[in-house]
Amino acid sequence: MLPQARAPHPGEIAIIDLADIDSPDPAKRARLAEEVAKASREVGFFYIVNHGIPAASVGRMFQSAEEFFSLPADDKNAVSISRSKLFRGYIPPNHIGVDQKLKANLQEAFQIHLDLPADDPDVAAGKPMHGPNPWPAAMPSLKPDMTAYQGQLWSLGQRMLPLFALGLGLPEDAFSPYFTKPMIMLRILHYPPQAPDDSTESIGTRAHTDTGVFTILAQDTVGGLEILTKGGDWMTVPPIPDSYVVNIGEMMKAWSDAIFSSTPHRVVNRYGLERYSVPFFVNPDYDTIFKPLVTNPAPTDLPQFHSSLDRTKNIKIGEWMVDLYSRIYPSPYKTAAAEKPLAAAQ
């Protein structure tokens, strides 16, 4: 049997209208920031509308996803993540990374980061996570379409960062220094449907927290995203037309000293249709050292996941991401830490 989830109560997941995001009126920006902060504290997930990304751009990404995942396996495997030292490319369904304690995901994925040319100084120096994206020869439109969309979503992400800063009582530009050559990531995902009596251990995406600062997710009309509420039950995040789902990741939780909640979530496609989604992850520069930028008077932490970040250890975030990615992906890049299964793996 598939695990169960309940529907949200009306208003339980806030729908935040971003119309005032660029308002010249500081009071309007502050009001919006407080809405974002409240949802980030209480749920860790919210919807945004009036975000400024044209529906046609989002539609093109879903078309691209359908087209890419329909390619013959050989064409997809030509850009397999197992050939990439930069954790980019195609991840087949049911893959298992180094850590055998982690359950396989049913999803298949294709992911890119910032595309950097060979003459970029960090690329030339062989800095991990920095370099070019791989593209499938069988689908020439994917490169221009995903690259353009990633640019649009990164602009939206940069417009949203001041809201989180303001919501924590920090100056609006408090996060800017950490995003000069960011490790942003765009993924397209495909989930096959699962029958209600499916007895496999696997689901679309196993329970996890997002590792980044925050995530901006486009989901199609099928549904399947579910979050673990503070009350301990699983709740669906139903699709709302023309919205994005935004959620707090481990890095924002660390910066906010756990004032903002990096809420565990999963995907169970129990709806009988193929599902596609397009998450964009706002990740900072490789060299960012993570420590809280504010003090939480009453920190409470949820259960630990394989994706949890310890904010007390002044971690250099790029190294932490490389360890985690080489643990969860079938990658040729293996760090010593990634060879050791995590005690907290779920």
User: What is the token pair recorded at 69?
Assistant: 């995942």
Indicate which of ligand AKG, Fe ion, none lies near residue 189 (CB less than 5 to 8 Å, by partner kind): ligand AKG
Of residues 138 and 345, the one with the C-beta less far from ligand AKG: 345
User: What is the token pair recorded at 146?
Assistant: 């995903």
Of residues 20 and 210, the one with the C-beta less far from ligand AKG: 210
Distance between CA atoms of residues 42 and 14, nearest Å:
10
Of residues 179 and 281, the one with the C-beta less far from ligand AKG: 281
Selected range binding Fe ion among 48-56, 64-72, 145-153, 209-217, rule: CB under 5 A: 209-217
Selected range binding Fe ion among 176-184, 203-211, 235-243, 252-260, rule: CB under 5 A: 203-211
Q: 101: helix, coil or strand? A: coil
How many residues at the interface with Fe ion, by CB under 5 A?
1
Handedness of CA 109, 153, 128, 78 (dihedral sign): positive
Under the criterion CB under 6 A, does residue 189 sit at the interface with ligand AKG? yes
| Burial class for 152, CB neighbours closer than 10 Å (0-12, 13-18, 19+) | middle
User: What is the token pair recorded at 153?
Assistant: 């979503």
Helices 142-167/26-42 angle, 10° precision: 100
Distance between CA atoms of residues 41 and 273, nearest Å:
33
Under the criterion CB under 6 A, does residue 217 sit at the interface with ligand AKG? yes
Under the criterion CB under 5 A, does residue 210 sit at the interface with Fe ion? yes
Q: Are residues 224 and 275 in contact, defined by beta-carbon separation less than 8 angstroms?
A: yes
Of residues 65 and 342, the one with the C-beta less far from ligand AKG: 65
Q: How far is the CB of 267 from ligand AKG (least distance, A)?
A: 5
Distance between CA atoms of residues 344 and 101, nearest Å:
9
The residues with which 105 forms a beta bridge, in sequence order, are: 203
Selected range binding ligand AKG among 24-32, 89-97, 143-151, 217-225, rule: CB under 6 A: 217-225
Under the criterion CB under 6 A, does residue 210 sit at the interface with ligand AKG? yes
Of residues 133 and 263, the one with the C-beta less far from ligand AKG: 263
Residue 185 C-beta-side C-alpha neighbours within 13 Å: 26
Among 265, 270, 306, 311, binds ligand AKG (CB under 6 A): 265
Tell me which DSSP letter residue 247 carries: E
Q: Are residues 235 and 263 in contact, defined by beta-carbon separation less than 8 angstroms?
A: no
- Binding marks (x or -) toward ligand AKG, 149..188, rule CB under 6 A? --------------------------------------x-
Of residues 182 and 212, the one with the C-beta less far from ligand AKG: 212
Query: Could you give the angle at the alpha carbon of 154 between the alpha carbons of 151 and 157, nearest 5°?
Result: 155
Q: How far is the CB of 140 from Fe ion (least distance, A)?
A: 29
Indicate which of Fe ion, ligand AKG, none lies near residue 219 (CB less than 5 to 8 Å, by partner kind): ligand AKG
User: Contact positions toward ligand AKG, by CB under 6 A?
Assistant: 187, 189, 205, 210, 217, 219, 225, 265, 267, 277, 279
Which residues form the interface with Fe ion (CB under 5 A)?
210
